[in-house]
Amino acid sequence: MLYSYCSSQQECISVDPGPEVHSHHVAGRKQTVALQGHDWHFLFPTMGLMDPKEKNVKLTRLKETGPYPSLRELYNVHGKLQREDYLCALEEQIAELRRDKRLLDTNINCYRVEARCVQYRQGGRFQRVTGVEFKFDASKYQEVEWDEEKRLMRNNIVLLTQNGLDDFLVGRIEESGEKLLRKGEIVVAMIEKFADNGYPTLLDQEQFVGHTFHMVESDPFHFPYLQVSLRLTKDEQSIVFGEELFRLYDVNFGVHLPPSETSFQFEKEIVDSVMPSRPPPYMQQYEGVDVVMKRLRRSIRTSLNSSQALALKKILQYRVALVQGPPGTGKTYLGSKAAQMFVEAKRQLPTVFPGPVLVFSASNHAVQEFLLRCREFSDQVIHCCSNKHERDPVDFGPLQKEHDLARHNEKPAVLQRAEIIGMTTTRAACLRNSLDSMKIKVVIVEEAAEVLEAHVLACIPYRAEHLVQIGDHRQLRPGYGHRQLAEDYNLCQSLFERMVNNRADCPMLNEQRRMRPTISRLVRSVYPNLVDHPSTFNRPRVSGVDLDEPVWFIDHGNEEQEEGKSYKNPEEAAIAVELANYLLLQNNDVRKITILTTYRRQLRLLKQLLQEHANDELKNLRISTVDGFQGEENDVIILSLVRCNPSGKAGFLKMANRACVALSRARNGFFMLGNLFCLTSSREPVWLHVQKILTQERRVGPVLPLLCQHGQRVGVRSAADIRAACQRCALCRSKLALASVCKALEGASLRDD
């Protein structure tokens, strides 16, 4: 059986798919897959999977409250939803490109590529095929920041077509990165399927050399879906195997084996939803452990406030412990103190805690911030990160360096000697076999409310006995691939949130040290019991702004522009950039200012404006989406909310979780740009509360009052007004002129070179 791939300009390529394939129905959906294999095979895109006419999949909505029938059923439900989330998102992406094939030449995820040669790598005494080296026109992507924008990431899937996606080949990115992509080069392994262990089965790579394709990068990142689905399926199969073994003993030998204790120690809490949680098993199995742990908790309690001390007590009390940490209340600090307590317990009771403490989260940034705090009390810390992050590692000590230099099969032994190991959920799912062998007793989930329940289940090691989840379900929820599926099946719910819904004991940290009170009042509708620490009372003014309390909402009527599935607001972006430039001229530190926005198209526009600006210092300014800034803060935040339209549609800004994060990142100065009519039309209590507070305190209006450091006052409502304000003061004007001269001289020097 052969598949043919051809275009009007090239000869057809006939590809032998290898083993015979057949069409059949799985969960109601017609599939074309190999006869052997399990559910993770369906994460390999085929023409059948991408045909919406065949879509008739039976899925189960995730429970908000109440128990699941069994652990096996829990794994099964999550595994199916993970698979379908990926496939639906990819199917939607392909359908859009098929409707308008011109997008294959303009869409940011599409590239025109030519297969140059086959790349090999040395594997012992032999060379092994890596994949095909493809070349594309790098001049079209000079403004792209490949790593930061997470484009063409290693281990993602690409589809290659010569006929507008009427059919396609599948490849996996093997080598990319900023340096290669800047040269317009990428190595892709052309694959037939994924084997049972999750590794790809390669096609003959030589047959593609010399041909050109449209290459479409999968918008949902494939690798996490593959690893989590693979792990959940394996864990489900281990349960099935155990059940079958018991049945065979009963039928064939008449031996009724007593039900053994499952290796999953959290079934009562996570599957049966029985609350309150039980104590960790090690507290009861070993004499004197409770005395040691209480003594360690008392020694750490002196560095905590009252709500943090209570939370630490609850962590020790429950097998599945939860702590809610609103913005600025020190949840990462508390998590590191809990880790310190467990590390000290490991030192005193090595037989009780033979393995390292495992920390995982959804992002490398969250893991790294957590481990940096752990570095203060341990030099045996290892951050297991991808090759991309290993190129610029953080120094966690000698054991980290040993791990980075070790061969792949030597790394587990190095990890076993660590006191704390941290990684993303994707990495933990990928390394589960190694983690299972390390006798890990304690698992800490950082930013737990941002982690999908499926990911937590896939990462919990064999025989772990204590699960600590620290997060805030009132801030960002977990990410997903397909919006409609997430809404219909409750996919964006975390295990943390489900356990809160099931009335788990979840102490809340209530003393914030981040925001000046004028800012923290904006989130009081979400956290009515939040208390401001005295250190927030006398925060400094922001130089350049004529406000004693530098908090202001610029309420404008500049309409948004829709671009694809996203939005941008050019005038609002210009205001944000010019305001940042003005603040820099008033001697504010560029490292202390961040521009946040709620849409990726707006983010790209902001970056473009910064690159084109006369003030080169702006190129060092941090810009991020609100979602990408979760867990971070800065002295001054300029927030671009983007949405402004006559119908009052606010899109996902009406989501209280996202609004909460957007409103709580600033320490000293907070300048919001948007349209209050759009935000309040949703009737979302968060924005109604923001409008009430800003109106009462007279911190909203179309004009922002500025005061330069030389005494010149001016009100601004547009980017042009802010530029004029920079020229109004002679001293500010001379400083701006000097910056322009320096840039011109630098440009002339580069031309001479």
Sheet holding 713-716, edge to edge: 544-545, 704-707, 713-716
Instruction: For residue 153, give the nearest of 133, 181, 134, 123 by alpha carbon.
Output: 181
Residue 363 to residue 625: CA distance in whole angstroms: 15
Residue 395: predicted pLDDT: 80
Task: Give the separation between CA 305 and CA 555, rounded to whole angstroms.
Answer: 39
pLDDT at 43: 86
How far apart, in Å, are the Cα atoms of 361 and each of 19, 314, 365, 384, 671?
Answer: 39, 21, 9, 12, 30
For residue 720, which of 593, 534, 575 has the smallest C-alpha distance?
575
Task: Give the model's confidence band at 2: pLDDT under 50 very low, under 70 low, under 90 confident, else very high.
Answer: very low
pLDDT for 744 beyond 80? no
| pLDDT beyond 90 at 53 | no
**Cα–Cα distance for residue pair 306/511, rounded to 1 Å:** 9
- Write down the pLDDT at residue 204: 95
Token pair of 405, please? 């230099």
Q: What is the rounded average pLDDT of the residues 645-662?
A: 91
Query: CA–CA separation, 340 vs 419, rounded Å?
Result: 10
Mean of pLDDT over the chain: 88
Q: How far is 584 from 744, CA to CA, in rounded Å?
A: 19
Tokens of 110: 């599409």
d(C-alpha 27, C-alpha 418), whole Å: 44
Q: Under a CB-based contact definition with an 8 Å cutoff, are residues 553 and 676 in contact?
A: yes
In one-letter notation, the amino acid at residue 713 is R
Cα(298)–Cα(308) distance, integer angstroms: 12
Provide the residue type at 274 as one letter. Answer: V
> What is d(CA 352, CA 666) in angstroms, rounded to the nearest whole number?
43
Distance CA 119, CA 364 (A): 30
Note the CATH number of domain 517-742: 3.40.50.300
Average pLDDT over residues 459-468: 95
Integer Cα distance of 394 and 509 in angstroms: 29
pLDDT in tens, 417-439: 999 999 999 999 999 999 999 99
What number is the average pLDDT over the span 376-403?
79
pTM exceeds 0.85? yes
Which of 281, 246, 277 has the alpha carbon at shortest distance from 260?
246
Asked, colleague to colleague, whether 242-250+305-509 and 517-742 share their fold, the answer is yes
Q: Encode pLDDT of 584-623 as tens digits.
A: 999 999 999 999 999 999 999 999 999 899 898 998 999 9
Contact 303, 318 (CB under 8 A): no
**494: DSSP letter:** B
Looking at the chain, the number of H-run helices and the number of E-run strands are 26, 30
Per-residue pLDDT, averaged over 691-712, amounts to 94
Confidence (pLDDT) at 260 = 44
**Residue 337 CB partners (closer than 8 Å, separation 6+):** 300, 303, 304, 308, 312
Mean pLDDT of 114-121: 94
What's the mean pLDDT in 546-563? 95
Cα–Cα distance, 593 to 609 (Å, whole number): 16
Q: Nearest CA to 553 among 526, 569, 530, 575?
A: 575
pLDDT at 327: 96
Q: For the residues 250-271, what does the mean pLDDT come to?
A: 68
pLDDT band with cut points at 50, 70 and 90 for residue 632: very high
pLDDT exceeds cutoff 60 at 5: no
Cα-trace Rg, the chain: 28
Question: In what helix (H) or strand (E) does residue 85 lie, and over which residues does it extend?
Answer: helix 71-99
Structural domain spans, the chain: 80-233, 242-250+305-509, 517-742
Residue 265, pLDDT > 50, answer yes
Among the listed ranges 238-247, 429-438, 454-463, 568-577, which one has the minimum average pLDDT value? 238-247
The CATH number of 242-250+305-509 is 3.40.50.300
Flag whether pLDDT at 531 surpasses 70.
Answer: yes
CA 139, distance to chain mean position in Å, is 30
What does the pLDDT read at residue 48?
73
pLDDT value of residue 743: 53
pLDDT at 10 over 50: no
For 214, the enclosing helix (H) or strand (E) is strand 212-217
Count of CB atoms within 10 A of residue 54's CB?
17
- Confidence check: pLDDT of 36 > 50: no
564, burial (CB in 10 Å: exposed 0-12, middle 13-18, buried 19+): exposed
List C-alpha distances in Å: 747 to 349, 677, 736, 752: 64, 45, 17, 9
